[in-house]
């Protein structure tokens, strides 16, 4: 582990080792070390960490340490001892795979990220994420993605990325344009089917700049965009707040419609039978990819249920945005 390349080095703060009596050295640092997993000593160390991965990372599986495209990032505390040497304590790690991206670059995908329980809630997960981004930037990679992130990891990721976006000047004209639109219009009386893509969502050129300069992928940027706009809203301006909610509602609807369109006209239809109604279905699709009507029509009562479910999704999305905005604000004050 000590042979890994240092991608980040921070001075040790009291909050970084409050629960450990042996973290009291004056010359101490928190470092992120990057190593190739196919390196035998590193692979052996990872194999010893596999039980922790299986226990603490939901749905995770060990990675192939013989594949040279796998890398691991260790976050450690490096403490100077009385003899002038250093001792290293493992705080957490992340495994990252390097994918080919057409035509001539690569993208990084985070597979596993784990901060050991005694050292959680001390900012080490954010350090790992920021270190991976710094590597992607220094090597001019395409972007950074995460494989099936947990809700908690996704929250941390949005927090890290939104903080980076808050100080990224090239996107501010687009942010200000959206804020002005929310101030000047009354979206409760809108006639457009959806205002999200037309007026609220990030412009394509902004999405491209963010990917190129910050390595935040398109899907992740959309998540951060809503939080970014909310952070810049005037909370005393009721029209702005209500317009923001209307845009979030359109965003949720757009996501649902986009998923429906990806089925290419394919429908799963339940068919009753004399044995087990829940176990019988047929799959139907049209040759031109259009939706078929009539055979899978739903009773009128379903429309009310769908509206209720949609409203619940919108409320949940708003709660998530507000919660993330609070976390970002608290990080800004640190």
Q: Burial of 169 by CB count in 10 Å (0-12 exposed, 13-18 middle, 19+ buried)?
A: exposed
Query: Are 62 and 35 in the same domain?
Result: yes
Residue 46 sits in a domain of what CATH number?
Answer: 3.40.630.30
161 in a domain, yes or no? no
- pTM of this prediction? 0.81
Query: Are 128 and 224 in the same domain?
Result: no
Instruction: Please count the other Cβ atoms lying within 10 Å of the Cβ belonging to residue 275.
Output: 7
Coil, strand, or helix at residue 308? helix
> What angle in degrees, to the nearest 10, is found between the helix axes of 151-166 and 124-138?
60
Query: Are 88 and 217 in the same domain?
Result: no
The 10s digit of each residue's pLDDT in 202-227 is 999 999 999 999 999 999 999 999 99
Instruction: Please count the other Cβ atoms lying within 10 Å of the Cβ belonging to residue 333.
Output: 5
Between 38 and 275, the more confident residue is 38
Number of domains in the chain: 3
Q: Which residues are catalytic?
A: 147
d(CA 31, CA 9): 4
160 in a domain, yes or no? no
**Segment holding 162, helix H or strand E:** helix 151-166
144 in a domain, yes or no? yes
Question: Which structural domain, as residue segments, surrounds residue 283?
Answer: 263-297
Coil, strand, or helix at residue 169? helix
d(CA 298, CA 136): 48
Asked if residue 53 lies in contact with residue 60, where contact means CB atoms within 8 angstroms, the answer is yes
**pLDDT at residue 290 greater than cutoff 50:** no
Asked if residue 166 lies in contact with residue 328, where contact means CB atoms within 8 angstroms, the answer is yes
The 10s digit of each residue's pLDDT in 58-76 is 888 999 999 999 999 999 9
Query: Are 195 and 246 in the same domain?
Result: yes
- The residue behind tokens 């240092």 is 6
Number of alpha helices (DSSP H) and beta strands (DSSP E) in the chain:
8, 8
d(CA 31, CA 158): 23
Query: Are 267 and 251 in the same domain?
Result: no
Query: Are 192 and 322 in the same domain?
Result: yes
């Amino acid at each position: 582990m000590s042979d890994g390349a240092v991608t980040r080095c921070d001075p040790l703060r009291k909050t970084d080792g409050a629960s450990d009596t042996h973290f009291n050295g004056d010359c101490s640092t928190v470092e992120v070390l990057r190593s190739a997993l196919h390196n035998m000593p590193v692979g052996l160390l990872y194999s010893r960490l596999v039980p922790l991965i299986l226990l603490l990372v939901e749905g995770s599986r060990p990675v192939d340490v013989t594949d040279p495209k796998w890398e691991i990032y260790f976050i450690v505390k490096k403490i100077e001892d009385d003899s002038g040497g250093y001792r290293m304590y493992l705080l957490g790690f992340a495994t990252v795979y390097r994918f080919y991206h057409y035509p001539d670059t690569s993208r990084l995908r985070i597979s596993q990220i784990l901060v050991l329980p005694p050292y959680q809630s001390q900012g080490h997960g954010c350090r790992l994420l920021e270190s991976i981004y710094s590597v992607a930037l220094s090597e001019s990679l395409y972007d950074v993605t995460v494989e099936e992130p947990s809700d908690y990891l996704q929250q941390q990721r949005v927090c890290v990325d939104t903080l980076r976006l808050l100080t990224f000047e090239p996107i501010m004209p687009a942010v200000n344009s959206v804020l002005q639109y929310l101030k000047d219009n009354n979206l409760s009386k809108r006639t457009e089917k959806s205002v999200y893509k037309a007026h609220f969502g990030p412009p394509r050129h902004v999405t491209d700049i963010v990917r190129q300069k910050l390595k935040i992928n398109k899907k992740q940027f959309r998540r951060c965009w809503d939080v970014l706009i909310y952070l810049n809203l005037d909370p005393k301006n009721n029209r702005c707040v209500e317009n923001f909610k209307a845009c979030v509602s359109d965003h949720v609807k757009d996501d649902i419609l986009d998923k429906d369109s990806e089925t290419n006209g394919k429908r799963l239809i339940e068919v009753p039978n004399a044995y087990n109604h829940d176990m019988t279905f047929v799959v139907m699709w049209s040759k031109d990819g259009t939706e078929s009507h009539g055979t899978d029509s739903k009773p009128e009562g379903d429309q009310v249920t769908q509206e209720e479910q949609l409203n619940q999704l919108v409320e949940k999305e708003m709660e998530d945005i507000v919660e993330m905005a609070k976390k970002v604000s608290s990080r800004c004050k640190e």
